Amino acid sequence: MGKWRRNIFKRISSILLLPLSKWYMSTERTATVEAITVTIKAGVFHPTLFFSTKFLLGWLKKQALQNLSVIELGAGSGLLSVYAAKKGAIVTASDISETACANVQENAWKHDVKIAVIRSDLFTDIPWQYFDVIIINPPYYPKMPSNESEYAWFCGEDFEYFQKLFFQMKRFMNAASKAIMVLSEDCNIAIIQSLAIQHGFYWQMIEQKRMLFEENYLFEIKPGNVHEQ
């Protein structure tokens, strides 16, 4: 697709996509990926309406997760948590949204997998432990969320979500831990990367995929030396 056509599509989608998806997500839905069907409660992030959750799932699919401790930070419907638990990981799923936490619990019961569901603002109420893998599909639009469901999109006007995340996360990681974060070109990757580096994280892009007219990236974030992309 030509660059100008791609830019037109991007412009149209940036105007239409968010309101349309909010409307679609205002009703309870279901979604099926890798033979896992999850319920998505009204107001909870829909894991197949966008590419981000599937991109992370593709990464999880390639990993040996048996007995690894995995946290899905901001788990939404919990699709990734259910998938990781089915692969033998010891899974914690957290979310700031009470509805999302209830949603993850319901999907865990439905699939008969054990997931520790914790309502928490990032790591604030997560009992201290080291996680082998931290999975993050973050909100990234710079605006304050004004209700529970907007936490899926907005990270605060000054990227407060990321400031707090990088401040808290190191305590939950040892030398072997890694966080995998999905981002799209639609967000300010430079600011997020610089916040990570300021907090002493190693930051590396590990996968890149174009979905329709948008580039998506997976970043590996590790405690340790600063590493430019």
Ligand X SMILES: C[S@@+](CC[C@H](N)C(=O)[O-])C[C@H]1O[C@@H](n2cnc3c(N)ncnc32)[C@H](O)[C@@H]1O
Smallest gap from Cβ 199 to ligand X, in A, equals 16
Q: What is the spatial distance between Cα 47 and Cα 92, in angstroms, rounded to a whole number?
A: 18
Residues of span 96-125 touching ligand X by CB under 6 A = 96-97, 100, 121-122
Question: Is residue 60 involved in binding ligand X (CB under 6 A)?
Answer: no
User: Which of helix, strand or coil describes residue 72?
Assistant: strand
Residues of span 120-159 touching ligand X by CB under 6 A = 121-122, 137, 139, 151-152
Question: Is residue 80 involved in binding ligand X (CB under 6 A)?
Answer: yes
Question: Is residue 92 involved in binding ligand X (CB under 6 A)?
Answer: no
Q: What is the spatial distance between Cα 25 and Cα 118, in angstroms, rounded to a whole number?
A: 23
Q: What is the spatial distance between Cα 128 and Cα 223, in angstroms, rounded to a whole number?
A: 17
Smallest gap from Cβ 206 to ligand X, in A, equals 17
Stretch that binds ligand X, among 1-9, 16-24, 83-91, 92-100 (CB under 6 A): 92-100
Nearer of residues 74 and 223 to ligand X, judged by Cβ: 74
Stretch that binds ligand X, among 8-16, 70-78, 190-198, 203-211 (CB under 6 A): 70-78
**Rounded to an integer, what is the distance from CA 65 to the centroid of its chain?**
18
End-to-end CA, the chain? 27
Look up residue 225 and give its DSSP letter.
Answer: S
| 59 C-beta neighbours (distance < 10 Å), count | 17
Stretch that binds ligand X, among 25-33, 46-54, 194-202, 217-225 (CB under 6 A): 46-54
Query: Within a 13 Å sphere around the CA of 181, how many CA atoms are in the beta-carbon half?
Result: 24
Residue from 43, 45, 113, 172 binding ligand X (CB under 6 A): 45
Burial class (CB within 10 angstroms; exposed 0-12, middle 13-18, buried 19+) of 212: exposed
Question: Is residue 69 involved in binding ligand X (CB under 6 A)?
Answer: no
Interface with ligand X by CB under 6 A: which residues?
45, 47, 52-53, 72, 74-77, 79-80, 94-97, 100, 121-122, 137, 139, 151-152, 161
